[in-house]
Structure 1
Amino acid sequence: MSTMFGMADGDPTPGLWNWAIGKRIDADRVCGAIAGTLERTVTPLGGGDAVMCDVYLVGGDFPTLADIYLAPAEVAEATAASAVAVRLDAAVLLPDDSFDPSRYVLAEPDGTLRLVHVDEVETDDGPERRGLRPCTGDDCDRTPERPAAV
């Protein structure tokens, strides 16, 4: 696993991934893409020992939020997000390892991974993310160069 993406691959909270998806997608399709990527059953919350996924909609440029519980430790989060982005044909945003709250890893629909910044506003429905921009500067001197994972 790469240290390039820190939190995205370092798994500081075992089995928990929090993603924002760049278009409105229904929960069944998100769960199906995750299940296909992980080759495991994915169920709504309360589904027992399977990987569980809570999908909900908010505003912003990444309006579908997916909280994935009991994610397998042997799968790198950024690799899984890359494969899900390809399956959904939608960008997937996930946390990185920096202390910069605006910096994320973006898995693009072609599977490319890169560091980006977005602005986040907390709302009653959940966090809304807007204003995607390239990561530049000293804290962004690492450029992901991983191929798509499908």
Structure 2
Amino acid sequence: MTELWNWRIDRAEPVTVYPALAEALGRVVMPLAVADPARLPRHAVICDVWQAPGEFGTMVDCYGVPESRHELGTIAALARLLDRDCLLTDDTLDAGRHLLVAPGGTIRPVHFEVTETDDGELLSARRLCTLAHPACRGWSRCRGSRWAPDSVNPALAAA
């Protein structure tokens, strides 16, 4: 188990995330605050969920996710189970560009304004990644991404 996943969820209560993630992964999910390494079930995933300010303020870190699990399929299942939009970073290395995974099972690239605060990154001013916007046209990181501007992809097929 070597994978580490970091996601954001739109307005989800942390107590609802743990059981939904356990169902999506088909594994025991242990909150980081109470995980005792000496007493962990063999296939447990350790997860930390907390609230931060701004859009998509529910933060999720998953530690020890099995390599056999597909992140996109898992986050799509989590979005469906929670009935909430989820975010994960994309492949552009642009701090403001993310992938929006909807409860209906689609993935589309989006942009946010990112502000550093004492509580971490604050996301605001969401907009779609589209060639209609000047920042996504021409030479940009968006055009070199697997997730092209204006794309809407089925999450499970992309896993």
The alignment's TM-score, normalised by the length of structure 2, stands at: 0.76
CA-CA distance at 1:99 after TM superposition: 2.4
1:33 alignment partner, SS class = helix
Hey, what's the Cα distance between the residues in 2 that align with 1:63 and 1:52?
20
- Indicate the SS of the match to 1:70: strand
**Structure 2: segments with no counterpart, 5+ residues:** 131-135
Scaled by the length of structure 1, what TM-score is found? 0.80
The structure with more radius of gyration? 2
Percent identity, aligned pairs only, is 38
Cα RMSD between the aligned structures?
1.9
What whole-Å deviation, never above 9, does each CA across 1:79-124 have from its counterpart, x for those lacking one? 2111101111111100111122211111112221111111222222
* Cross-structure match for 2:48: 54
Matches within 5 A, 1:85-96: 85-96=79-90
2:127 & 2:48 partners in 1: Cα distance? 27
- Matched residue count: 135
- What is the deviation of 1:28? 2.5
User: 1:20 matched to which residue of 2?
Assistant: 8
Deviations 1:7-48 (A, max 9, x none): xxxxxxx411111111141x2310111110010000011343
Checking the alignment, whether the CA contact within 8 Å between 1:21 and 1:65 is kept in structure 2 is yes
Deviations 1:63-94 (A, max 9, x none): 11011111121122122111101111111100
- Relative to its length, the structure with more helix (as a share) is 2
Any runs of at least 4 consecutive aligned residues in structure 1 with deviations exceeding 6 A, and if so which? none
Point out which structure has higher relative CO (alpha carbons under 8 A, 6+ apart).
1
Which residues of 2 match residues 93-112 of structure 1 at below 5 A?
93-112=87-106
- Between 134-143 and 91-100, the greater mean CA deviation after superposition: 134-143
CA 1:146/1:51 → structure 2, altered by over 3 Å: closer, same or farther? same
Give yes or no for contact 1:110–1:148 (8 Å, CA) kept in 2. no
2:26 is the counterpart of 1:39: yes
Q: Which structure 1 residue ranges, 5 or more long, are not aligned?
A: 1-13
Shift of 1:59: 1.0
Q: AA paired with 2:49? A: V
Take 1:124 and 1:33, find their aligned partners in 2: how far apart are those partners?
Answer: 29
